[in-house]
Amino acid sequence: MDLNFTPADQAFRAEVRAFLATELPPEIARTVLEGRHPSREDTVRWHRILHRHGWGGPSWPREHGGTGWGPVQQYIFEEECAAAGAPRLLPFGLKMVGPVIMAFGNEAQKKRFLPRILSAEDWWCQGYSEPGAGSDLASLKTRAERRDGHYLVNGQKTWITLAQHADWIFCLVRTDPAAKPQAGISFLLVDMRSPGVTVRPIITMDGGHEVNEVWFEDVQVPVENLVGEENKGWTYAKFLLGHERTNIAGVGISKREMQRLRRIASLERKHGRPLLDDPLFGTRLAQVEIELMALEITNLRVVSAEAERRAPGPEASLLKIKGTEIQQAISEMMMQAVGPYALPFREEAVETGEAGEPVGPTYAAPLAATYCNMRKTSIYGGSNEIQKNIITQMILGL
């Protein structure tokens, strides 16, 4: 297994870097590099810039309008985008429901949904988790009863990221309540504008509105919005989760944030010297950097396997666990670096000038919100405890 980049790979990296230097709007990059959340408009704007250039689907095959890039090119593209401060392309359409529709959807669904994902005309969200059915997803209770030419959906989904912006939601629903937990589940595509769909915000501890509850009350969903076969949704869910967990690792973003941490530590002082020179802080920083290097090597091994048409196995769970732990460690060290200047604040007030200038250095302002927000990473996409169980079963056979 050769983990070195070829001359062709390096030339591709140079092409991506040059494109980002000329096409990425600087005000959007500044928002990302300063640790603030890009708006819906900024995210869509960047996606459409890429789409006009033919890069709107970095992980998609050419037959569906994508770039046709291999896993190595996709890795390089995501790493360079992260380093430049490009908003992360929303995974719900491009990396979750899109691949499911390609693999298991019919031709009508491919023609209807895929082009609108690619052009950012449709914003998707993921309807998996429910109260009492998060990591234990198979215990979900949202019902879909078939009535003539439609399904009647009733139930609740929770922790639905950015549902307040979404046009569509892909849902796991129970279509056979008498079947075993993993059986009797189907994969439905639901228009968020349908009568009976209600989105209720969940305000998180950082003061942000990122996640929501979504309620379904007698929502009619056409039968043609069923992906694949009825009661086979668990198969499609597992296919999707493999993509999601690998994506959560976020190596490129962690490398960018590590550089940001280093800049902050070089500006903050302890006993008259830069914090970066403090032995205790430096030791912890070096430890996290080493872990990030090891994670990157593991990620490159997965990329190499994918290039050889081998699907990731327990490595996806390893990437998810270690990737999220590193993200949390970096955000925690940023908080430690600035001390009391990282006290929580209302981000929207600072951005609009309502609260005046933030106390302390401007780079400290978003750090509390980032730290709080990062607590969730070890839970979503299947909690890290569940991932350890998967690794135990797949590697040790226990």
| Sequence ranges of the domains in the chain | 7-89, 124-232, 249-396
CATH architecture of 124-232: Beta Barrel (2.40)
Mean pLDDT of the 64-72 span? 93
Is there a contact between 77 and 58 (Cβ–Cβ < 8 Å)?
A: yes
Residue 167 predicted with pLDDT over 70 = yes
The three-state secondary structure class of 237 is helix
Q: What is the pLDDT of residue 232?
A: 95
Tokens of residue 236, six digits: 């499609």
Q: Assign 310 a pLDDT band (cuts: 50, 70, 90).
A: low
- pLDDT tops 80 at residue 191: yes
**8 Å CB contact between 28 and 45:** yes
Catalytic residue among 80, 210, 244, 268: 244
- Other C-beta atoms within 10 Å of 52: how many? 10
Distance CA 101, CA 116 (A): 13
Residues 175-197: what's their mean pLDDT? 95
* Region label for 132, one of left (φ > 0), alpha (ψ between -120 and 50) or beta (otherwise): left
Is 244 a residue of the active site? Answer: yes
pLDDT band at 299 (very low <50, low <70, confident <90, very high): confident
Res 301: pLDDT? 84
DSSP type of residue 223: G
Highest mean pLDDT among 199-208, 283-292, 389-398: 283-292
For residues 27-54, average pLDDT: 95
pTM to 2 decimal places: 0.87
pLDDT value for 358 = 55
Residue 142: count of CB within 10 angstroms of its CB: 22
* Averaged confidence pLDDT in the chain: 90
With tokens 């629903």, the residue in question is 173
Residue 244 has pLDDT above 60, yes or no: no
φ/ψ bin of 382: left (φ > 0), alpha (ψ from -120 to 50), beta (otherwise) = left
Nearest to 255 by CA among 219, 222, 221, 296: 296
Mean pLDDT of 187-213: 94
Q: Read off the pLDDT of residues 82-119 as tens digits, 9 standing for 90 and up.
A: 999 999 999 999 999 999 999 999 999 999 999 999 99
The yes-or-no verdict on residue 331 having pLDDT over 60 is yes
Question: For domain 249-396, which CATH number applies: 3.40.50.300, 3.40.50.2300, 3.30.365.10, 1.20.140.10?
Answer: 1.20.140.10
How many alpha carbons lie under 13 Å from residue 144 in its C-beta half-sphere? 25
Residues in Cβ contact with 67 at an 8 Å cutoff, skipping those fewer than 6 apart: 54, 55, 57, 58, 60, 73
Residue 60 pLDDT > 60, yes or no? yes
Which residues lie below 8 Å from residue 296, measured CB to CB, with a gap of 6+? Answer: 251, 255
